[in-house]
Amino acid sequence: MLKHLLFTAAVIGLAACGAETTAEPQASKTDIKEAATPKQDIKTQDLGDGFYMLLGPGGNIGVSVGEDGVFVIDDKFSRFADQIIGQIRGITDAPIRYVINTHYHGDHSGANADMKETGAVVVAHDNVRKRMGMSFENKAFGRTVDAVDETLWPDLTYSENATFHFNGQTVQAIHTPNAHTDGDSILFFKEANILHMGDNFFFGLFPYIDVDGGGSLAGMIASHEKALELVNDESKIIPGHGPLADKGDLEKTYEMLKTIEKRVIDEIKRGASLDDILKKDILADYAEYSSFIDKDNMVKIAHRSILEMQ
């Protein structure tokens, strides 16, 4: 699947290059004006009471705006930094005080250096900083994950949980061990009843569980259990990827993850090999959740995670 995505991107890139060398009719003034307008990839959804969700390529961003300034959860890729900051500046001129990374992946932490330049303090779990400072093999995609520049590393880290008292909110940063990675946190704004799950929650999609980054299916399930203890029917839940969700959506994903775990464990117990399990197509009824992680990849990830946790 990854190779297919890379191939598609390459084809699109080559097509674009080819278009530059092809004679085109003279552009109208309207065409020129539209071409000069910067592309806006990042969109803002107002959640009410000073809370916003920034959507677009990469992980979903949570924003709290109030008398203490701006509190940001995740910051997508570096290439969207100007758009992200621009969207925030469209809401308020207040300083960006804190940026919390829910985990180390670049689609959630890639604009850290840009955020620091605004004066923000980047905060994350200890393992986020550790992961950013090391290179290791990602067996799932057959490549090396390289350490990133120190300008991207969090300035302030915590070992388990942290609590911020900001904009009239009690903000709980709760470490969810060995879930999507080994450095995940979920962020709960207690008074506003808003939960940011990071990539512990892929809404409507099979999740990517970064086993090489310390993640596990069991830990992902446990993160949902913890989240379900915090929320109620009125809660607004920001997933790492996908639209704004509620408790019912989270429960549905939780049940799916438990079902995947049970089916794979049952097959392992009866002595089935991974190839046998794939041929059986045990996730056929969940095919609608396929994206960059399809049902076969989900089985492979679950199988590896379960065996490595034994």
Separation in Å, CA 192 to CA 13, 185, 278: 44, 18, 44
**Encoded tokens for 51:** 């809370």
Would you state the pLDDT for residue 38? 62
8 lies in some domain: no
309 lies in some domain: no
3-class secondary structure, 132: helix
Q: Is the pLDDT of residue 28 over 70?
A: no
Domain span at 226: 39-249
264 lies in some domain: no
47 lies in some domain: yes
Separation in Å, CA 153 to CA 126, 133, 201, 264, 266: 10, 8, 23, 37, 41
**Which CATH number does the domain housing residue 63 bear?**
3.60.15.10
Would you state the pLDDT for residue 22? 28
Q: How many domains does the chain have?
A: 1
44 lies in some domain: yes
Would you state the pLDDT for residue 14? 28
Cα gap 125→101, rounded to integer Å: 8
Which tens digit of pLDDT belongs to each residue from 230-246?
Answer: 999 999 999 999 999 99
Which tens digit of pLDDT belongs to each residue from 58-89?
Answer: 999 999 999 999 999 999 999 999 999 999 99
Cα gap 114→75, rounded to integer Å: 9
CB atoms within 10 A of CB 161: 11
Token pair 């986020």 in the structure block, residue: 128
154 lies in some domain: yes
User: Which amino acid belongs to residue 50?
Assistant: G
DSSP code for 82: H
19 lies in some domain: no
CB 240 within 8 A of CB 108: yes
**Encoded tokens for 223:** 């993160």
Would you state the pLDDT for residue 310? 75
6 lies in some domain: no
Range in 3-7, 87-91, 191-195, 230-234 with the lowest mean pLDDT: 3-7
Which tens digit of pLDDT belongs to each residue from 114-160?
Answer: 999 999 999 999 999 999 999 999 998 889 999 999 999 999 999 99
